[in-house]
Amino acid sequence: MIGLSVRYGDLQAVRDVSFTAEPGQVTAVLGPNGAGKTSTIEVCEGYRRAAAGTVRVLGLDPATHQRQLGERIGVMLQEGGVYPSARVLDTVRHYCALYGKGAVADDLVAQVGLTSRAKATWRRLSGGEQQRLSLALAMAARPEVAFLDEPTSGVDVNGRDTIRGIVRDLAREGCAVVLATHELDEAERLADRVVIFDGGQVIANGTLAELRKGHDEIRFRSDPHLDLPALAIAIGMVASQVGPDEYVIDAPPHPRLMAQLTAWLAEQGHPIADLRAGGQRLEDVFRRLTAKQGDAP
């Protein structure tokens, strides 16, 4: 998409957004609630009209080729989308028949781990089970592009693993997966590329490595009141306290520096925990980028 804008009356929800999602990759569209992720995806699905810009999905304009596109894309809504009184297996059969791609309903239900709930109605499913059913409906399309909106929202740990596995499989089979989420951890685990939204605009777009480039760090936990000036003298670098017992040194994880740090902590009798060295966490990348945006005039 190039220069996409979406408006709701006077409110500009999305402003001049451009990015590409490649086949065989998971592209995470990240941002806080209300950042414009869902609006952007809805334009791609043909559900919402763009105020400006050019959007192509599989070479088609979603606004004018929604039906042709509907044959080739899988959609998972942020919530709902299923008849409350419909049973799990009946619903998946219904969607398999609508898409007519030869997907087998029983297999899809098994794949998302709902075989034991096959006769339960939607309204009797837990939030996580509803999300897994919704994912099964997206898979019934055997999609070339899958739009998954907050797929792990409200899902328990085991359910998340199931969903992550399916998302990776979809990408491995050549599907372009577009994953909208506000959960940075989810994106970090799954995404090949990340598009970060803030205030309806894209503020960063690239692979995780690209976004982290030049922002290596060493992060660790220890006693709450370390003598940071003494530590700086010992290792030749400044450490910052970023939490009650959490510290960050903005530096590449050179073995000598790591050795100096751990030796100093040992000499001073301080513990060390959660030592992590290398690229910034996506959460920190996000904070850095959104802070920059906020500082801009």
Residues that bind another protein (CB under 8 A): 45-47, 66-67, 70-71, 73, 75, 77, 79-86, 90, 94-95, 97-100, 137, 141
Instruction: Using the minimum distance from each CB to another protein, give the nearer residue, 81 or 253.
Output: 81
Q: How far is the CB of 96 from another protein (least distance, A)?
A: 9
Angstrom distance (rounded) from CA 124 to CA 146: 26
Q: How far is the CB of 179 from another protein (least distance, A)?
A: 17
CA angle 156/158/161 to nearest 5° reads 110
Instruction: Using the minimum distance from each CB to another protein, give the nearer residue, 141 or 231.
Output: 141
Angstrom distance (rounded) from CA 11 to CA 191: 30
38 φ/ψ angles, rounded to the nearest 5 degrees: -65, -40
Q: How far is the CB of 78 from another protein (least distance, A)?
A: 9
- Asked whether the beta carbons of 19 and 27 are under 8 A apart, the reply is yes
Q: How far is the CB of 206 from another protein (least distance, A)?
A: 29
Instruction: Using the minimum distance from each CB to another protein, give the nearer residue, 84 or 165.
Output: 84
Angstrom distance (rounded) from CA 220 to CA 222: 7
Burial class (CB in 10 A: 0-12, 13-18, 19+), 121: middle
Instruction: Using the minimum distance from each CB to another protein, give the nearer residue, 97 or 238.
Output: 97
Distances in whole angstroms, Cα of residue 35 to Cα of each of 39, 80, 182, 198, 280: 9, 21, 9, 5, 22
Angstrom distance (rounded) from CA 20 to CA 27: 9
Q: How far is the CB of 15 from another protein (least distance, A)?
A: 22
Q: How many CB atoms lie within 10 A of CB 199?
A: 17
Instruction: Using the minimum distance from each CB to another protein, give the nearer residue, 99 or 247.
Output: 99
Instruction: Using the minimum distance from each CB to another protein, give the nearer residue, 86 or 275.
Output: 86
- Name, in order, each residue with C-beta under 8 angstroms of 63's C-beta and a sequence gap of 6 or more: 43, 46, 49, 50, 55
- Asked whether the beta carbons of 135 and 148 are under 8 A apart, the reply is yes
Instruction: Using the minimum distance from each CB to another protein, give the nearer residue, 1 or 137.
Output: 137
Distances in whole angstroms, Cα of residue 31 to Cα of each of 56, 179, 207, 215, 282: 22, 11, 16, 20, 12
Q: How far is the CB of 67 from another protein (least distance, A)?
A: 5
Q: How far is the CB of 177 from another protein (least distance, A)?
A: 16
